[in-house]
Structure 1
Amino acid sequence: MRAAVLASILLVFAGQGCASEKPPLDPRGEPMEQLTIVTDSGRHTFWMEIADDAAERQRGLMFRPPLPDDQGMLFEYPEAAERAIWMRNTPSSLDVLYVRPDGQIISIARHTTPYSDTLQPSNGPASGIIELRAGRAEEIGAKPGDRVEHPHFGR
């Protein structure tokens, strides 16, 4: 009897744990997507807001508060090309990771300057750009050549 009660309690709590696995919502109310960066230090998973059209990519993280450690923005492009971003109207410093279509990180612009119009180039053809809180790339040990896992890459 005692074991059955304990098992029931554990099932209730396990079910609550699953509920917390729901993706957070982005500012538009859309579910965020998981993205994993694989580095020498391990697998690092983030919730990503997706910017996959011209208006969303242009707006990016302008006028937004600093990102939490486990969140970011993924800019998706239909083809690979030389890319660049600026920080106009972006109040927080970011780490910007440029990613090839196969998921390999090309380059990283670390600790970008808030509100700057200086372009941060990809230095190679990228089909994706990941923005994380400044310093986060270093914390997880991300470097060019590391891999990104997300359905957008490896198509």
Structure 2
Amino acid sequence: MGNRRPFGQLTALLTVWMLFLGTAVAAQQACRVDTIYLRGDFGTARFSVDVADDAAERGQGLMFVEKMARAQGMLFVYESPQSVAFWMKNTLIPLDMIFADARGVVQRVHANAVPGDLTAIPGGDGIQYVLEINGGLASQLGIEAGAEMRHPSIPADNSAWPCDPA
């Protein structure tokens, strides 16, 4: 049969290409409040998020959540850049915390915060956005300092990766 690829390999290659193309196209669409994108050397990642943008919502966070879908998370939005620290009181699942500055640039990733631990987890100074996702996922995807967030909460005129105009 020579150099012919089996049908299964061709199908697999087409599927990978379609997933790549779909992610690239999705990242160019207008931003939505329930979706955040991250990009970096790893490529692009997309998460469905709940947004905690006031003191009460930030205080509740993901407490008492028993499980979370793989591509789900919570985005904490502060009014201005500041020093932030999180803890895991009443949190039932391990979380990765991704701390970003006012431009949406990731400054620090804290991996696998321990459920129920009351030890403060500092994000650093000048933090305005914190994304919490399932523990271990940031490492699996390659998300690290320097990655950029894209979300409508990050003003376009200051964003490292602004939303496209609608």
TM-score bucket of the superposed structures, by smaller chain: 0.7 to 0.9
Contact 2:33 2:152 in 1 (8 A): no
Contact 2:36 2:151 in 1 (8 A): yes
User: More displaced, 61-70 or 71-80?
Assistant: 61-70
**2:62 matched residue in structure 1:** 61
Alignment length (residue pairs): 126
Contact 2:33 2:151 in 1 (8 A): no
Tell me the TM-score normalized by structure 1.
0.77
2:57 aligned counterpart, secondary structure: helix
* Corresponding position: 1:77 with 2:78: yes
How far is the alpha carbon of 1:113 from its aligned partner?
0.8
**1:112 matched residue in structure 2:** 113
Contact 1:106 1:124 in 2 (8 A): no
State the distance in 1 between where 2:40 and 2:60 align: 29
Q: Runs of 4 or more off by more than 3 Å in structure 1? A: none
State the distance in 2 between where 1:32 and 1:68 align: 18
String of CA shifts for 1:95-130, please: whole Å, max 9, x gaps: 000110101001011000100111110122111110
How far is the alpha carbon of 1:43 from its aligned partner?
0.8
Q: Percent identity?
A: 30
What letter corresponds to residue 105 of structure 2 in structure 1?
A: Q
Contact 1:86 1:118 in 2 (8 A): yes
State the distance in 2 between where 1:89 and 1:143 align: 26
**2:94 matched residue in structure 1:** 93
Contact 2:77 2:128 in 1 (8 A): yes
**What root-mean-square deviation, in Å, do the aligned CA atoms of Structure 1 and Structure 2 show?**
1.6
Contact 1:80 1:126 in 2 (8 A): yes
State the distance in 2 between where 1:51 and 1:123 align: 19
**2:39 matched residue in structure 1:** 38
State the distance in 1 between where 2:79 and 2:51 align: 13
How far is the alpha carbon of 1:136 from its aligned partner?
0.8
String of CA shifts for 1:46-102, please: whole Å, max 9, x gaps: 101010111110010001112211110000111000101000000101000011010
Tell me the TM-score normalized by structure 2.
0.72
Contact 1:39 1:140 in 2 (8 A): no
**2:7 matched residue in structure 1:** none
**2:147 matched residue in structure 1:** 146
State the distance in 2 between where 1:76 and 1:111 align: 21
